[in-house]
Amino acid sequence: MRRITETIFIILTFVFFGCEKKITEQEFEQKIFDKLFITIVDSTYTDQRLYTCFPEQGKPIYDKKGNWIGLDSVGQHQRDLECEIKRAAFQKDTLNLIIAIEDEGLLNEETNLSKYNNSKFIFRHLSEHPRGEDLEYTGWKTENKFAGVMSFSHIKFDTKKESGSLAVGYRCGGKCGLGYTVYIKKIKNKWVIVKVEDTWIS
């Protein structure tokens, strides 16, 4: 009887500590992610308002047979100037930028994104974004503060849990977007970003 009791105790201890280890790993990843989240965003985000801001072009010109000749350049200098003024205003407008977050990695619909909000960024779930097929033409863009959509993978740590990497994606509507790999490392007991690598562009 005593041997059976000891065996049960050992099994329960193994199960308990096995589960605890798994939870600890998840909590460890979450803790590092939360500490670095704003720095990662600041290192990889692109302001959609700047990335998709181009001067309007003149109307197309066709010959009598319907062949395209070119664009009407009348007033183009003024349109270019107006675009530069608009871009300059966006560059100065760096507070309360809205970034939509996709469900990926540690972030999902249950995540309270407001915990990451600061004077520069306001984070919202992508599901809150009223959109059609193309992010560029609807939703928060009309608020003039919509900076784009971002996604974050899980962090892949090395065996010693002293360095890691994660994939970060940015979308600004349609097929417009950029991708990065962010490398992090524990230096002097503090986790920091050591490298941001471009991985794709569309």
Q: Where exactly are the structural domains of the chain?
A: 28-48+95-201
Other beta carbons within 10 angstroms of residue 116's beta carbon come to 17
CA 44 to chain centre: 7
Bridge partner residues of 173 (DSSP): 176
- Kindly report the pTM of this predicted structure: 0.73
DSSP string, 20-35: HHHHHHHHHHHHHHHH
- Specify the pLDDT at position 24: 80
Q: What gap in Å lies between CA 172 and CA 61, rounded to an integer?
A: 30
Over 70: is that where the pLDDT of 138 sits? no
Other beta carbons within 10 angstroms of residue 9's beta carbon come to 10
pLDDT tens figures, 2-20:
555 555 555 555 544 444 4
Q: What gap in Å lies between CA 138 and CA 136, rounded to an integer?
A: 6
Measured in degrees and rounded to the nearest 5, phi and psi for residue 154 equal -65, 160
